[in-house]
């Protein structure tokens, strides 16, 4: 099969839909008989994933790899920044944490040159194995003040020899200005790399925008390769958690109402994506103490800063509300940082996370946690302690800190890893914790979690198969984008015929 040029989806700004468009093209190229792979040189996100090798990448690239039908690898996202504060981020290079960096230090010339060499080397390794590479840009393509420090956009496209498609979001308004302005702020050499424009999130009758397409093509001197309508019935895991707070908190009869505590540094919120789709469940996100009382199950999620979020929960009264809810018989489950918070104490004598050296936990589980500098990142197979199972569950760990059960505690381990290592803590069906992200992607574990509410459910549907659901969504997304993008034109561009 003929080698295609790599393709980059760059944006007029953040949140224009680059990640989802790249995901769609990963699936489209796979459907068309190619062997694509995703690539984003630099990503900034709290939502990460562990590769089969036990290294860390951004969740968006793991999703794109899944759409492409290949295992994820750190070469797909060699540089990941996980925000710690407004000014600092944890730097993860080639899947391994390198420490905390301030923005000014991170973008200094010496550091930048080293990072550029690393991300280019990662791309080169990937391009030998896959065809085509689907690159995703970061933020805006035309931040002229950041041109020298840009690792993810046109400098990366230039290194890869990629054809660049500029993506604009028409739903937010000002799409003409953002597309034309982005083009005009590029230097002539950069402008020649833009081979097409893709307009995303269109609402209304596409026929009314035909004149707009011609205007844009005349202004920008590149073809509009597609106008992709806004969709509501396709579910692709999101990278950012900005929309979580708007998900309804109203109590629903005939369903199990599950509240996810909305932490300030919440990470890996995709742990709960399957619950959003399960017809037995009504899921909502909140940090309101009154709303927490309306839940049957309270989930404490992962966090990038356990101690800081624990301090905030104590300050705003949420910690007290969770404890009270548990005393009233509500189920409380913690995952990763949420599991750490549920214990008797969390200590950080080496200041791994920050200045707070110790805080008492919620006291719901007889465990104690000490923060450690070495991050654990690995995929795991496990089974529930004391339960007969036909097959192993799957998940992954990404955490800093080690948790031990207090001697003489009246509790059991929740899980047993494939190598025989005990994991998590189970203090009865209403109180449990684990380090394993993705534990809720296993249908049998959700059945176990919902077991106390079996009699209340309005109906008993089939167990929700999340893996099958995701495959269906990738196919629906690909069909949606394929319908509204000029794929023959895309292939001509990628074959060098235009």
Kindly list the catalytic residues: 336, 437
**Secondary element (H or E) of residue 199:** strand 194-202
Q: In sequence order, what are the residues at sequence separation of 6 or more whose Cβ sits closer than 8 angstroms to the Cβ of residue 350?
A: 371, 372, 373
How many C-beta atoms surround the C-beta of residue 256 within 10 A? Answer: 23
Q: How far is CA 474 from CA 137, 189, 237, in A?
A: 21, 35, 10
Residue 465, SS3 per DSSP: coil
Cα–Cα distance measured from residue 432 to residue 422, given in angstroms and rounded to the nearest whole number: 14
**Secondary element (H or E) of residue 98:** strand 96-102
Range 375-381 contact pairs with CB under 8 angstroms and sequence separation of 24 or more:
375/56, 375/97, 375/399, 375/400, 376/400, 376/435, 377/50, 377/54, 377/55, 377/56, 377/95, 378/50, 378/54, 379/50, 379/51, 379/52, 379/54, 380/417, 380/418, 380/423, 380/436, 381/417, 381/418
* Structure-token pair, residue 331: 């189920």
Cα–Cα distance measured from residue 121 to residue 123, given in angstroms and rounded to the nearest whole number: 5
Packing angle between helix 18-31 and helix 59-68, nearest 10 degrees? 20
b/e map 15-50, b = 16+ CB within 10 Å: ebbbbbbbbbbbbbbbeeebebbbbbbbbbbbbbbb
Closest CA to 479 of 171, 66, 27: 27
Runs of H (alpha helix) within 293-381: 306-316, 318-327, 337-341
Pairing of strands 42-44, 48-50: unpaired
How many C-beta atoms surround the C-beta of residue 138 within 10 A? Answer: 22
């Amino acid at each position: 099969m003929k080698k295609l040029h790599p393709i980059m989806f760059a944006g007029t700004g953040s949140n224009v839909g680059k990640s989802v468009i790249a995901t769609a093209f990963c699936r489209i190229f796979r459907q068309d008989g190619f062997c694509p792979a995703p690539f984003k040189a630099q990503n900034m996100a709290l939502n990460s994933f562990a590769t089969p090798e036990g290294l860390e990448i951004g969740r968006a690239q793991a999703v794109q790899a899944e759409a492409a039908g290949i295992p994820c690898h750190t070469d797909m996202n060699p540089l990941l920044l996980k925000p710690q504060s407004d000014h600092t981020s944890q730097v993860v290079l080639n899947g391994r944490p390198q420490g905390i960096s301030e923005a000014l230090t991170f973008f200094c010339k010496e550091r930048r040159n080293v990072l550029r060499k690393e991300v280019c080397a990662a791309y080169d390794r990937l391009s030998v194995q896959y065809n085509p590479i689907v690159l995703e840009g970061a933020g805006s393509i035309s931040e002229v003040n950041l041109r020298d420090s840009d690792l993810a956009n046109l400098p990366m496209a230039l290194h890869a020899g990629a054809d660049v498609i500029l993506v604009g979001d028409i739903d937010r308004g000002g799409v003409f200005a953002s597309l034309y302005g982005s083009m005009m702020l590029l230097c002539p050499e950069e402008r020649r790399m833009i081979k097409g424009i893709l307009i995303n999130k269109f609402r209304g009758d596409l026929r009314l925008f035909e004149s707009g397409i011609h205007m844009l093509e005349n202004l920008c001197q590149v073809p509009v390769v597609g106008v992709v309508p806004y969709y509501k019935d396709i579910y692709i895991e999101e990278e950012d958690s900005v929309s979580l707070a708007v998900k309804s908190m109203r109590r629903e009869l005939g369903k199990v109402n599950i509240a996810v505590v909305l932490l300030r540094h919440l990470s890996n919120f995709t742990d709960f994506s399957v619950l959003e789709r399960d017809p037995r469940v009504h899921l909502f996100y909140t940090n309101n103490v009154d709303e927490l009382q309306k839940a049957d199950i309270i989930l404490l999620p992962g966090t990038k800063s356990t101690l800081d979020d624990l301090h905030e929960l104590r300050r705003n009264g949420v910690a007290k509300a969770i404890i009270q809810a548990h005393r009233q018989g509500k189920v409380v489950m913690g995952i990763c940082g949420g599991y750490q918070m549920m214990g008797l104490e969390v200590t950080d004598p080496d200041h791994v996370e920050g200045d707070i050296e110790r805080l008492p936990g919620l006291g719901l589980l007889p465990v104690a946690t000490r923060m450690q500098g070495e991050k654990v990142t690995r995929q795991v197979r496990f089974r529930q302690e004391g339960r007969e199972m036909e097959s192993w569950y799957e998940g992954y760990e990404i955490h800093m800190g080690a948790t031990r059960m207090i001697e003489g505690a009246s509790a059991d381990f929740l899980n047993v890893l494939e190598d025989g290592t005990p994991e998590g803590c189970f203090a009865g069906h209403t109180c449990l914790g684990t380090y394993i992200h993705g534990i809720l992607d296993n249908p049998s574990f959700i059945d176990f979690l919902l077991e106390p509410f079996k009699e209340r459910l309005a109906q008993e549907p089939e167990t929700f198969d999340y893996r099958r659901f995701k495959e269906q969504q990738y196919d629906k997304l690909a069909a949606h984008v394929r319908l509204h993008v000029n794929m023959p034109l895309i292939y001509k561009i990628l074959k060098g015929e235009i």
